[in-house]
Amino acid sequence: MGTFSGRSWEASFDQPHLTSDAGIAALAASGIGGGLISALNAAICDPRRGAHHSIMELLRQRIFQIAGGYNDGNDSDHLRNDVVMRSAAGKPADEPLASQPTISRLENGASKKDLLRMARAIFEDYLASFGGSPPRLICIDMDPSAHLVYGQQQLGLFNTHVGDTCLMPFYIFDGTSGKLMAAALRPGKTPMAGEIITILKRLIRGIRKKFPDTTILFRADSHHTKPAVMDFLEEQEVEHITGLGKNKVLERLFADEITAAQARYESRRKHDPQPAEITMYASGHYAAGSWSRERRVIARIIVGPLGTDVRYIVSSYEVATAQYLYQTVYCGRGEAELYIKECKLGLGSDTSPCTRATANQFRLLLHAAAYVIMHRFREQVLKGTRWEKSTIAEIRLRVLKVAARIEVLKTKVRVRMSEALWEAQRSIWERCARRAPA
């Protein structure tokens, strides 16, 4: 092959079973996500007769491949003979996995009813994750996020804010824990009130049925501040805090506070050539012409070397301070942006290449399931390790992407990893083994 660093190197292809994803074996063996995948399997009506690959096997194959960073159905072809991926899918070690055409038929075969049942299964799994301890508060963080598309995908629209053709699915998380509640494909445009209310109805109904005494908070950006949405939330006795766009009336309402902040900054600048910026918070009541009533509006005012920046939010909370509501409660939704990045950058959920919207929704739900499993793996297995606060991408790189030689024996499969990984990996494999179903 050549000479490097004073040594002769040779390449040989004589090992029967190797993998670069040994950590997937630990993830699958732990049983994390087994209940969710079973529920997804039960949600899909399978009209096939005598199929070689069951729906359960196909779901496990794709979800664990996504967890391993193989986002595209085409990846199934070169992973067919990977023993770890076979085992994760529930296949015998000597039986190949499904190929790309089979995966494509699975994606395109899902009906709208199947998709609704799958979405319900993911939400029910979220509710079940609390066990027997009802949460005091559930914070619903809803945000649309762009999936760029480059073909003739249904629902794809040119979005001027994004500057490209895209889909704009909803990602919905529990804002206090990062658990995923739902993911719904939708056109690449600003959401309408009816879309928001349709999803919220199902979420609120499910939460109230399971946890009747739990307080529900809805938190979102200004795209969700629709009169009908606020009326609906108040009818349902759901607290809300959302962004609010600027206008001349709000500028007049908070003119005194804005002027005071500017004066304080100018006074500070007289004594300091590089003064720190001034931040002030103010609260008032306001009703747009389309609103049914007045609501509390909070202004965050920043005056600094770049000028004056004022942002507004509207909230159902009347007692808490303006600073707390803006800085802690509303700005806390920034975590939801990180959860979306976990889905998109860590698990490739923004790959929506199918022509049919139902197929792309099916893919989105599989990515959502992979997020649920990886989030739970980090929360339950990696707690106390160096990776307990790592991103999903980092966990995949350091924990799942482990090279190993696989020995397939008569009654067991042995995973042989580098002895250099003993200290880093041993405790994780032991924890997964203890969790593994009997």
Which pLDDT belongs to residue 438?
A: 58
Averaged pLDDT, 50-61:
93
- Name the token pair of 190: 């600003």
Averaged pLDDT, 155-182:
95
Which pLDDT belongs to residue 169?
A: 97
Q: Which residue has the tokens 């005091």?
A: 136
Whether the per-residue pLDDT at 26 is higher than 80: the answer is yes
Domains located in the chain, CATH noted: 13-109+403-435 (no CATH), 112-359 (3.90.350.10)
Whether the per-residue pLDDT at 231 is higher than 70: the answer is yes
Percent of the chain with pLDDT over 90: 77
More confident residue, 241 or 423: 241
Averaged pLDDT, 304-333:
94
* List of long-range contacts for 44-51, beta carbons under 8 Å, 24+ apart: 44/110, 44/114, 44/117, 44/118, 45/111, 45/113, 45/114
Whether the per-residue pLDDT at 243 is higher than 70: the answer is yes
Q: What is the pTM of this model?
A: 0.94
Averaged pLDDT, 141-156:
94
What H or E segment, with its residue span, contains residue 77?
A: helix 75-78
Question: Across all residues in the chain, what is the average pLDDT?
Answer: 93
* Structural contact between residues 349 and 339, judged by C-beta atoms closer than 8 angstroms: no
More confident residue, 132 or 347: 347
Averaged pLDDT, 174-182:
95
Whether the per-residue pLDDT at 129 is higher than 70: the answer is yes
Query: Could you tell me the pLDDT band of residue 128, with boundaries at 50, 70 and 90?
Result: very high
Averaged pLDDT, 345-365:
95
Query: Could you tell me the pLDDT band of residue 294, with boundaries at 50, 70 and 90?
Result: very high
What H or E segment, with its residue span, contains residue 141?
A: strand 137-144
Taking the C-alpha atoms of residue 360 and residue 362, their distance in angstroms, rounded to an integer, is: 5
* Structural contact between residues 303 and 282, judged by C-beta atoms closer than 8 angstroms: no
Residue 399 DSSP one-character state: I
- φ/ψ of 44, rounded to 5, equals -100, 125
Averaged pLDDT, 73-90:
91
Which pLDDT belongs to residue 2?
A: 66
**Of the candidates 93, 79, 125, which has an alpha carbon nearest to the alpha carbon of residue 412?**
93
Whether the per-residue pLDDT at 335 is higher than 90: the answer is no
DSSP sequence for 224-264: G--HHHHHHHHHTT-EEEEEE---HHHHHHTHHHHHHHHHH
